[in-house]
């Protein structure tokens, strides 16, 4: 193997092993920043030795053993070693060699727990959202600073700074390396899920023509979600989020048209939906429901996505079920956007008039003031009701609000369509009343 072959192999080993390595070390030294430094030190040694000696049979164990020696030095320097041994109920051993097996045993029991501790720590509420994202992707995701920077379209130096500051914040606040318990757990878990979904959406809503890092972001978020589902299998909302991400990801290949323009869900070629991911998503949703989490916000969103996934063609969509799910979502996680989506579902299930009633109530909603989909939806409903001059005004408003050029074209075309229908109706006697 050439040196660069070995380096690529080492990168691969790092992606597989680094999170657990850092997590185990963090439990040893009590601080994620120090843990990552120790892990990086071990990586440096690997980069020096493995090109010649070859990648070891058990690279994870090699890295951990290498890092642990330095960890013990660190603890010794901090005079913590004695206390650690006391904690473990052992007599103080003077020699480093005998210190290692004791700690070994303590570490091996807790691999999964440590990774969970790492996820919670990286998503700690003391940190800003950007910091949580950067730290999670780095420590748990194994992404390099450059990869994170490219994913979020910020300079690498910015990401590096965020990570440095985040570690310092955690260290200064002496945030304990632990899984939160009791009442705290729900809120902290929510923070973790929020970070993962944020990363996913960053990749999912990427506009066409972007670097292929963006679909990779969805993959990273999904991977972290699946990891979390393995670490916290009794938490229904974790499965709910994974379900949502699997099903949304299943549509990736159908979401962009030939010219790179976004294709609306109802217009997508469903033959391009990834059935494997859909089944994985449905299985995760089932898990969430079996755990009694059907009413969780992520589970509900996943259930809505599942309704679409189950419809082999758009016409088969169970809109009544979707409407009911949005009603539940509006109760547990109310927001104007949820209401707007509920209105669309209502109109599909019960006709445009039903949807319009709800949408009319949203027109003065401050949060939706510059949201182009509000007038777009209203325009569509008015169009279907034959109120074409009003519809046209709404589409024009929507076209003015959107920042996406292709969407603006589509909305302008809709406005023109309404104008044509309005003109036609003046020439020929109009049917009375809205269409049934």
What are the residues binding other proteins (CB under 8 A)?
Answer: 8-9, 11-13, 15-16, 59, 112, 212, 215-216, 219, 222-227, 230-231, 252-253, 257-259, 263, 266-267, 269-277, 279-280, 283, 312-315, 384
Choice between 226 and 321, CB closer to other proteins? 226
Smallest gap, in angstroms, from Cβ of residue 428 to other proteins?
A: 17
Choice between 74 and 299, CB closer to other proteins? 299
Choice between 257 and 434, CB closer to other proteins? 257
Q: Can you give the three-state secondary structure of the chain, one letter per residue?
A: CCHHHHHHHHHHHHHHHHHHHHHHHHHHHCCHHHHHHHHHHHHHHHHHHHHHHCCCCCHHHHHHHHHHHHHHHHHHHCCCHHHHHHHCCCCCCCCHHHHHHHHHHHHHCCHHHHHHHHHHHHCCCCCCHHHHHHHHHHHCCCCCHHHHHHHHCCCHHHHHHHHHHHHHHHHHCCCCCCCCCCHHHHHHHHHHHHHHHHHHHHHHCCCCCCCCHHHHHHHHHHHHHHHHHHHCCCCHHHHHHHHHHHHHHCCHHHCECCCCCECCHHHCCHHHCCHHHHHHHHHHHHHHHHCCCCCCHHHHHHHHHHHHHHCCCHHHCCHHHHHHHHHHHHHHCCCHHHHHHHHHHHHHHHCHHHHHHHHHCCCCCHHHCCCCHHHHHHHHHHHHCCCHHHHHHHHHHHHHHCCCHHHHHHHHHHHHHHHHHHHHHHHCCCCCCCCC
Choice between 172 and 212, CB closer to other proteins? 212
Smallest gap, in angstroms, from Cβ of residue 285 to other proteins?
A: 13
Smallest gap, in angstroms, from Cβ of residue 404 to other proteins?
A: 18
Choice between 99 and 376, CB closer to other proteins? 376
Choice between 278 and 305, CB closer to other proteins? 278
CA torsion sign for 240, 179, 334, 381 is negative
Choice between 178 and 283, CB closer to other proteins? 283
Smallest gap, in angstroms, from Cβ of residue 275 to other proteins?
A: 5
Smallest gap, in angstroms, from Cβ of residue 316 to other proteins?
A: 10
Smallest gap, in angstroms, from Cβ of residue 252 to other proteins?
A: 7
Smallest gap, in angstroms, from Cβ of residue 347 to other proteins?
A: 11
Choice between 166 and 222, CB closer to other proteins? 222
Smallest gap, in angstroms, from Cβ of residue 272 to other proteins?
A: 8
């Amino acid at each position: 193997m050439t040196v660069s072959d070995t380096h690529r192999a080492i990168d691969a080993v790092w992606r597989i092993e680094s999170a657990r390595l850092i997590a185990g070390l963090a439990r040893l030294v009590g601080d994620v920043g120090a843990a990552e430094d120790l892990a990086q030190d071990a990586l440096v040694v690997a980069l020096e030795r493995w090109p010649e000696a070859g990648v070891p049979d058990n690279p994870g164990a090699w890295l951990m053993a290498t890092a642990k020696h330095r960890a013990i030095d660190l603890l010794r320097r901090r005079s913590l070693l004695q206390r650690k041994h006391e904690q473990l109920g052992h007599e103080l051993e003077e020699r480093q060699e005998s210190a290692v097996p004791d700690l070994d045993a303590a570490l091996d029991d807790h691999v999964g727990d440590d990774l969970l501790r790492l996820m919670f720590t990286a998503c700690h509420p003391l940190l800003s959202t950007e910091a949580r994202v950067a730290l999670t992707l780095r420590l748990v995701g194994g992404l390099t600073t450059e990869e994170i920077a490219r994913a979020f379209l910020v300079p690498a130096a910015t990401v590096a700074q965020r990570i440095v500051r985040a570690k310092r914040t955690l260290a200064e606040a002496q945030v304990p390396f632990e899984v939160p318990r009791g009442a705290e757990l729900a809120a902290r878990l929510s923070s973790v899920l929020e970070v993962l979904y944020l990363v996913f959406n960053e990749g999912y809503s990427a506009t066409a023509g972007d670097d292929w890092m963006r679909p990779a972001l969805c993959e990273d978020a999904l991977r972290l979600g699946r990891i979390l589902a393995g670490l916290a299998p009794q938490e229904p909302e974790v499965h709910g989020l994974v379900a949502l991400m699997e099903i949304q990801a299943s549509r990736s290949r159908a979401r962009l048209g030939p010219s790179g323009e976004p294709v609306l869900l109802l217009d997508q070629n469903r033959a391009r939906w990834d059935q494997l991911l859909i089944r994985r998503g449905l299985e995760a949703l089932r898990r969430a429901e079996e755990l009694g989490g059907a009413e969780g916000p992520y589970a509900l969103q996943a259930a809505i996505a599942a309704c679409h996934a189950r419809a082999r063609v758009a016409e088969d969509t169970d809109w009544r079920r979707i409407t009911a799910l949005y009603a539940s979502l509006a109760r547990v996680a109310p927001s104007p956007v949820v209401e707007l989506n509920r209105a669309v579902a209502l109109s599909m299930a019960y006709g445009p008039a039903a949807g319009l009633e709800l949408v009319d109530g949203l027109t003065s909603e401050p949060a939706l003031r510059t949201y182009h989909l509000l007038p777009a939806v209203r325009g569509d409903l008015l169009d279907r009701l034959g109120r074409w001059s009003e519809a046209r005004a709404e589409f024009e408003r929507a076209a003015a609000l959107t920042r996406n050029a292709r969407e603006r074209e589509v909305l302008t075309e809709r406005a023109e369509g309404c104008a044509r229908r309005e003109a036609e109706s003046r020439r020929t006697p109009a049917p009375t009343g809205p269409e049934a």
